Chains A and B, each alone.
Chain A
Amino acid sequence: MESLIGGLVAAPLLGAAVLLTGGRRLDRSGHWLGTALAGLSFVFAAVLFFDMLGKDAEERTLTSHLFSWVPVEGFQADVAFQLDQLSMTFVLLVTSVGSLIHLYSVGYMAHDERRRRFFGYLNLFMGAMLLLVLADNYLLLYVGWEGVGLASFLLIGFWQHKPSAATAAKKAFIVNRVGDVGLAIAIFLMFTTFGSFAFSAVLDEQVAAGAGQATLTGIGLMLLLAACGKSAQVPLQSWLGDAMEGPTPVSALIHAATMVTAGVYLVVRSADIFNLTPDAQLVVTIVGAASLLFGAFVACAKDDIKKSLAGSTMSQIGYMMLAAGLGPIGYVFAIMHLVTHGFFKAGLFLGAGSVMHAMNDEVDMRRYGALRRHMPVTFVTFGLAYLAIIGFPGLSGFFSKDEIIYAAFAKGGTQGWILGGVTLLGAALTAYYMTRMMLLTFFGEKRWQPDAAGREPHPHEAPRVMTIPMIVLAVGSVGAGAYFSLGERFAHWLEPVTGLGHEEAPLSHGMVSLAATAVMLIGVAGAWAQYGRRPVPLVAPAGRWVTRAARRDLLQDDFNHAVLVRPGNYLTRGLVYVDHKLVDGVVNGTAAAFGGLSGRLRRVQNGFARSYAVSMFGGAAVLVAATLLMRAV
């Protein structure tokens, strides 16, 4: 069984290697090869999963040591895997959603001449993501961590001829790099504190307790910084919206379902450290709450369907992060929301991709409308995912989100009320922006416009290779939550890894559900009042300053530009000047000084033999005089 873990990672990596180096020969079959290897990886995962189910809860962890990676005196990094329930959850999510999206991409990218490369990148992403969740030490996790960042960079910038895509790709990589530095420093701290960064050595409450509180908080905050970068949480959120420049399947897989949730994985994986440092935990919840609202506000204002979904992703990950910050009462539900979110958000993105496909790649929702009759499958699957995300009772989002809201209240005290209020507000906003999206896209009258080339859109349903993944994901969106919650199945599954806390909240479960449903209905009603009853203008009204700010992503780019980019440019230009004029100037100045001096001295050599003779005699006279003088003294 252990060797299957290696195969799980190796299959997509092999696919990436073959597809990216295979050349034109593979242009015609490459996408099927990529899909098959992703599917193979899913089969391995399923086998491992059923094997795991057959064991006792405490003995389910599998380890697999492949080879010694960087052996240096006092420093041991291995390529070794650890598969426990948490990893298994991710492996199943990544391979299942990943395989579906490979399948979808076969249709979506059918007309792209570089499709083979696209599948190579997708496979690379899957391999790196599996490496990330299967690593048994933080350094190998770091490899997967940057690996998914690389895949994300390549896929966001897949249409490299568009300057906006190339810029977005670069931005994503660099913002992520800032987060990666956090992970690197966390590893340094672990190494200097524990002499190791293997999970088995660090993630043990007794070992961790031996370290000072300040060190633990430092490690926690640095891990959080890394998580913020990867999961697009405040303050490193700015790359996610731009990342929507990538092809839509990429947005679905990487920037909604899997990669962006890696930050949550990191925090939950490091539970043993976070449990000991309430300060870091508090910061995690604050970041989660801030991102939750930030993303929701942005999602409310955007007219670009993908950017609105991106804001929503950020907001939903904010929920997960908040839950992860609550400690053992939240870990399980963070992961549960992560899984259900993986299903419904991927479904939403695939639906959005299907719509764009039909509308000549138009992304402005104000130019959609009345698509439900033209694209029935997309409408139904998108609609089910929509109901799931807003937390319609009985669907996935309802179960996972309510648990998080309940856990937030259970935090207790003023903090509990604030966090609970934020999560409820978030729920209302979620309902609002998702209803808005639904109404603008599928209801109302046609507002279709010809594209830049003057072609009228002729919406049609997507081919079957695209609708099948959408249907499967819709099923997941509907059923997963109820299945997981029945008899706390999911909680018991994860409990051996994350622990499970029970705290009494000031509100009962029933009241939380009622409140959540109520705010959801308020949100839906608000959106309907604004977009359902009235005709939608083709150009967005100017709006108040809040709307304008939200449209500009709450001025995040303006802020970064003013605080980082512009001073950075000045600094760079200044240093180039300094290097040229000052550092080099000193050297050139010395050279010039010697040059000038020798120019002067040269004049003494006038070429007249007699003047040389004078200097000779003069020199001789001086020597004689000096000798006599020395004698005399």
Chain B
Amino acid sequence: MSFPLLTATAVAPALGAVVTAAVPSARRTAAKWTALAFSLITVGLAAAVLIRFEPGGDRYQLTESHSWIADFGVRYELGVDGIAVAMVALTAVIVPFLIGAGWNDADHAQDAPAARRWRPTQGFFALILMVEAMVVMSFMATDVFLFYIFFEAMLIPLYFLIGGFGDRAGEHPESEQAKQRSYAAVKFLLYNLAGGLVMLAAVIGLYVVAADDLAGGGTFSLQTLVEARASGELTFAESTERWLFLGFFFAFAIKAPLWPVHTWLPNAMGESTAPVAVLITAVVDKVGTFAMLRFCLGLFPEASVWATPVVLVLALVSIVYGALLALGQRDMKRLIAYASISHFGFIILGIFAMTSQGQSGATLYMINHGVATAALMLVAGFLISRRGSRLIGDYGGVQKTAPLLAGTFLVAGLATLSLPGTGPFVSEFLVLVGTFSRYPVAGIVACTGIVLAALYVLILYQRTMTGPVTEAAGKMRDLRPRELAVVTPLIALLIFLGVFPKPLTDIVNPAVNHTMSDVGKTDPAPAELEARK
């Protein structure tokens, strides 16, 4: 038996979480370095996965399969396709930056006398690593039940991350911020649990149907189910398939989040610290869109096609609505949250446009949005940490006193508005082209998102960074070396992905072709070539 590389990739951060949590209370610097070391080990393992993965090879590679709960056909099955490889790499790459950016974020909680016993610094980093482990696991699980477990379990550490750690030092537990934060954490948990509950019903339903049809008895194995569907051994009644699809989709739409079940995200991102906000939007939410591609389209292709019109409309509403609301925000973290909702609209649009360009674009979008939002949110976090206010109106003229901060903020913002030369442009354009070639009107409506993105990003930049130097900006320190070390690689990555995305597309394309053939769709042919025939 070969070395279980995928398991190792998930176990490394989990182990890191345990070790970090065990570091004694007084040694919080040691805890930070431990967490960083384990996150870097995970990067190494993810890189190994990336290298071992052959783009032209089997659909799922590096597979591991063990029986787990034999009575219910639950297996411990892992495997990655091109999309999953990309997502695992994204997760592994982002987390060290979050640890670097959040280096001192939990320390003030430690200084509060009442909290000394629960070691917040250790807890903060352990929880982040725990989330990473679960996210990685859910990207790799090819057993529906196994996926479900981690899909739900990641809510627990996230709940504590949102509820337990805020922007302000030494805030009173009865203060307005603390109440808002606890509201955000509970809202996050309830929303996602509600989705998970519905999904659980669908998971069980899937098992029941499979147990009826398959000779080998009920199973949760994705590969077995997809193959059985393709061979006709497994058939769903039309209404059954639709209900099961809706069950899965509901959970993923909440996680993604899609309008109108999006309202937990601005609260969660606004109230948590910047690294946690990035963790939510750049990594955890991607599980939702990833799962749409893998489970909704893979298991229920006909229902997916059936639901496409509604999903497209919801995605378009998300794009425009998220962008307009971003324009109306006074809190910069909430602004970024609404911008993310708009971007998730693009991702879902790309997935359900059912074209190669759309789905490749959506996959690239997940990566690029992760990196771009990470950069923007972390720089915003640095800004907020200097003044302690999240309100846009409290800043102005920062560019004069902290040019590096303003410059990185601008570059990250430009990436967020999909400027050519940065990664998000490639993905957004692919999504739009893919959508347009099948649904021209949807493509054009989505284009309004391009203009609105420019508006909210540039207005944010103008209000915070330009203009006369305000009192707040006057004493502002420019980026520290640690902060620069966090932001620079992210920006370099964004530009690299914009100029030379080929390594990524090479990995993603075959997986997208598989998904397209699952759904049984082919790209529309160019009109002029059609006419010539």
Number of A residues contacting the other chain (C-beta, 8 Å)? 60
Of A71, A173, A571, A572, most B-chain CB atoms within 10 Å = A572
CB-contact partner of A207 in B360, B420, B528, under 8 A: B528
CB-contact partner of A73 in B329, B356, B429, B444, under 8 A: B356
User: From B455, which residue of chain A is reached at the shortest CB distance?
Assistant: A174
For B127, list chain A residues within 8 Å (CB): none
Determine if A118 is an interface residue (Cβ-Cβ < 8 Å).
no
**Contact assessment for B443 and A576 in the assembled complex, using a CB-CB cutoff below 8 Å:** no
**Contact assessment for B325 and A575 in the assembled complex, using a CB-CB cutoff below 8 Å:** yes
A187-B529 contact given A147-B420, A173-B458, A174-B458, CB 8 Å threshold: no
Of B469, B502, B527, most A-chain CB atoms within 10 Å = B527
Determine if A235 is an interface residue (Cβ-Cβ < 8 Å).
no
CB-contact partner of B451 in A68, A139, A177, A195, under 8 A: A177
Complex Cα gap A174–B448 (Å): 12
For B501, list chain A residues within 8 Å (CB): 69-70
Determine if A81 is an interface residue (Cβ-Cβ < 8 Å).
no
Complex Cα gap A572–B330 (Å): 12
**Contact assessment for B430 and A72 in the assembled complex, using a CB-CB cutoff below 8 Å:** yes
Complex Cα gap A579–B528 (Å): 44
For B531, list chain A residues within 8 Å (CB): 210-211
For B450, list chain A residues within 8 Å (CB): 177, 180-181, 184
For A173, list chain B residues within 8 Å (CB): 454, 458
Complex Cα gap A181–B400 (Å): 33
Complex Cα gap A443–B513 (Å): 72
For A184, list chain B residues within 8 Å (CB): 429, 432, 447, 450
CB-contact partner of B420 in A71, A143, A165, A575, under 8 A: A143
For A264, list chain B residues within 8 Å (CB): none
Determine if B190 is an interface residue (Cβ-Cβ < 8 Å).
yes
For A587, list chain B residues within 8 Å (CB): 187, 191, 263
**Contact assessment for B397 and A571 in the assembled complex, using a CB-CB cutoff below 8 Å:** no
B-contacting residues, A176-212, CB 8 Å: 177-178, 180-181, 184-185, 187-189, 191-196, 207, 210-212
Determine if A150 is an interface residue (Cβ-Cβ < 8 Å).
yes
Determine if A47 is an interface residue (Cβ-Cβ < 8 Å).
no
> Nearest chain B CB to A11's CB is how many angstroms away?
17
**Contact assessment for A73 and B512 in the assembled complex, using a CB-CB cutoff below 8 Å:** yes
User: From B435, which residue of chain A is reached at the shortest CB distance?
Assistant: A188
**Contact assessment for A210 and B321 in the assembled complex, using a CB-CB cutoff below 8 Å:** no
> Nearest chain A CB to B282's CB is how many angstroms away?
22
**Contact assessment for A188 and B462 in the assembled complex, using a CB-CB cutoff below 8 Å:** no
**Contact assessment for B436 and A192 in the assembled complex, using a CB-CB cutoff below 8 Å:** yes
For A161, list chain B residues within 8 Å (CB): 397, 399-400, 466-469
B-contacting residues, A128-159, CB 8 Å: 139, 142-143, 145-147, 150, 153, 157
Determine if B494 is an interface residue (Cβ-Cβ < 8 Å).
no
Interface of B is mostly: helix
User: From A182, which residue of chain B is reached at the shortest CB distance?
Assistant: B447
Determine if B332 is an interface residue (Cβ-Cβ < 8 Å).
no
Complex Cα gap A69–B499 (Å): 7
Complex Cα gap A178–B455 (Å): 11
User: From A573, which residue of chain B is reached at the shortest CB distance?
Assistant: B328
**Contact assessment for B357 and A579 in the assembled complex, using a CB-CB cutoff below 8 Å:** no
For B356, list chain A residues within 8 Å (CB): 72-75
Complex Cα gap A364–B468 (Å): 24
Determine if B437 is an interface residue (Cβ-Cβ < 8 Å).
yes
Determine if A163 is an interface residue (Cβ-Cβ < 8 Å).
yes
Binds A, one of B5-13, B23-31, B230-238, B518-526: B518-526
**Contact assessment for A192 and B468 in the assembled complex, using a CB-CB cutoff below 8 Å:** no
**Contact assessment for B447 and A160 in the assembled complex, using a CB-CB cutoff below 8 Å:** no
**Contact assessment for B466 and A185 in the assembled complex, using a CB-CB cutoff below 8 Å:** no
B-contacting residues, A294-318, CB 8 Å: none
Determine if A215 is an interface residue (Cβ-Cβ < 8 Å).
yes
For B437, list chain A residues within 8 Å (CB): 188, 191-192
Determine if B500 is an interface residue (Cβ-Cβ < 8 Å).
yes
**Contact assessment for A193 and B528 in the assembled complex, using a CB-CB cutoff below 8 Å:** yes
A-contacting residues, B311-363, CB 8 Å: 321, 324-325, 327-329, 356-357, 360-361
Complex Cα gap A628–B407 (Å): 80
Complex Cα gap A579–B325 (Å): 8
Complex Cα gap A429–B173 (Å): 71
For A139, list chain B residues within 8 Å (CB): 429
Determine if B509 is an interface residue (Cβ-Cβ < 8 Å).
yes
Complex Cα gap A576–B456 (Å): 14
Complex Cα gap A16–B375 (Å): 21
Determine if A546 is an interface residue (Cβ-Cβ < 8 Å).
no
Determine if B177 is an interface residue (Cβ-Cβ < 8 Å).
no
**Contact assessment for A193 and B328 in the assembled complex, using a CB-CB cutoff below 8 Å:** no
A73-B523 contact given A157-B466, A163-B468, A584-B263, CB 8 Å threshold: yes
Interface string of A56-79 (1 = CB under 8 A from B): 000000000001111111110000
> Nearest chain B CB to A581's CB is how many angstroms away?
11
CB-contact partner of B459 in A20, A157, A170, A189, under 8 A: A170
For A192, list chain B residues within 8 Å (CB): 436-437, 440, 524, 526-527
Complex Cα gap A498–B420 (Å): 28
User: From A144, which residue of chain B is reached at the shortest CB distance?
Assistant: B420
Interface string of A557-582 (1 = CB under 8 A from B): 00000000000100111011001000
22 contacts between A and B (CB under 8 A): A70-B426, A70-B430, A70-B501, A72-B356, A143-B425, A145-B420, A146-B421, A150-B419, A153-B458, A160-B467, A161-B467, A162-B467, A177-B451, A185-B447, A188-B440, A191-B437, A191-B526, A194-B529, A195-B528, A573-B328, A576-B328, A587-B187
Cβ-closest 10 pairs across A and B: A195-B526, A73-B356, A166-B466, A143-B420, A576-B328, A188-B436, A572-B328, A160-B466, A177-B454, A170-B458
